[in-house]
Structure 1
Amino acid sequence: MITALAHASSPGDVSPALRRCLIDCWIAVTNAGGAAGFPFPPVGEAEVAPVLDALVDRLGPDRHRLITATAGGRLAGWVVLGRDPNPLVAHWGSVHHLQTHPDFRGRGVGTALMRELHRVARDELSLDHLRLAARGGEGLETFYAALGWRESGRWPAALRLTPHDTRDEVLMRRDLRGTEDT
């Protein structure tokens, strides 16, 4: 299904066309109810574009990487791998904004992106561990667990989506050394 995985490791790697596709994907994912950083849909370009631009500005070969998946000539999904510059935690990476466009859900896009992210983190950035925070109540723990992630804690009732919908923020980790990618 996926025809290509690509990486961007500097702002110059994100063309205007790719920027447009990333914004459109983020809007579609959020407005379809995805847990992608904007908890209160609907959102539009006015909300998403400045956040995406800040994310792109942080790209750097040793700091942050953007990994994209295309299928049939369309952006099917994307994810960001980050590294903290602090030497105390520079052996850890963080995962942000894993998104699969609603038109491509259930076709292995998220799994392919995460496997590539694991490879890049381990083989190119020499990271030992990865971390992420996921919205509870979405089934995300099961998805990540199938890829070798383990829950390391929760912030109970940390996320209030509506007055009657409060969720845990689930903290997860993935060890990269001494393990084969799942």
Structure 2
Amino acid sequence: MPLTFTLDPPVDTALRDGILTLWVDVSDADGAVGFVPPVNPDDVRAELVRHLVSMAEGRTRLLVGRDEQGAVAATAFLTYNTHQLMRHWVWLYTVMVHPRHQGKGYGRGLMHAAADAARGFDGIEAIRLTCRGGTGVDDFYASCGYKEVGRVPDAIRVAPGDDRDDITMLLPLY
């Protein structure tokens, strides 16, 4: 059964805790979402609070995918640009599908829902995202229509001696 996606759901304790659990579980499964395993939930909570503040300020929007039990199974954050010359595209951050749901097509559904959401934003023509090289996720994003538009070699230090490229990808919406 596909996920049910909601843009800008009301943020309550259950949603906040669901996102936190998702983020910790994805990170601990070696997902490239800002942390390396094992993660401390308090570190993830601090980053989640930054996302929630940005949402409250109107700079970021949240897309949530829920499974058939109503649990948070996927998320993506879409953030507006504040630079006056770059307001025609948004950033896509913290794209996550719970490890128990991977391989079911939910990631592709999340990417499609994010593009549909962005098409509904006034004046938005494209989505940009960055991803960590060496994970294969850039191939996934390419299969969703994103094109690599930049790469900074060894920009992400996962661990001493393990540096990864920072890859920037773009999806034109029209």
TM-score > 0.5 by shorter chain: yes
The worse-fitting range, judged by mean Cα deviation, of 165-174 and 124-133 is: 124-133
Take 2:31 and 2:58, find their aligned partners in 1: how far apart are those partners? 29
Structure 2 counterpart of 1:134, from 131, 148, 170: 131
Could you tell me which runs of 5 or more consecutive residues in structure 1 were left unpaired when the two chains were aligned.
178-182
- Return the letter of the residue paired with 2:128: R
Residue identity matched to 1:123: G
Amino acid at match of 1:94: W
| Contact kept? 1:7, 1:68, Cα under 8 Å | yes
In the superposition, the TM-score normalised over structure 2's length comes to 0.93
Structure 2 runs not aligned, ≥5 long:
none
Deviation at 1:61, TM superposition (A): 9.1
Match of 2:141 in 1: 144
Question: Secondary structure of the equivalent of 2:55?
Answer: coil
Q: In 1, distance between residues paired with 2:40 and 2:114?
A: 27
Assess if the C-alpha contact under 8 Å between 1:62 and 1:125 holds in 2. no
The offset of 1:140, in angstroms, is: 1.1
String of CA shifts for 1:27-74, please: whole Å, max 9, x gaps. 000011000111x32113211112101101111696311101111222
Q: What is the TM-score of this pair, normalised by structure 1?
A: 0.89
2:159 to 162, 171, 176: 162
Question: Quick check: 1:41 aligned with 2:37?
Answer: yes
Question: After the TM superposition, which of the residue ranges 61-70 and 155-164 deviates more from structure 2?
Answer: 61-70
Residue in structure 2 matched with residue 77 of structure 1 by the alignment: 74
Name the counterpart of 2:28: 31
The answer to whether the 8 A contact 1:2-1:69 is kept is: no
Coordinate RMSD, CA, aligned: 1.6
CA contact (8 A) 1:83 1:92 kept: yes
| Stretches of 4+ aligned residues off by more than 6 angstroms | none
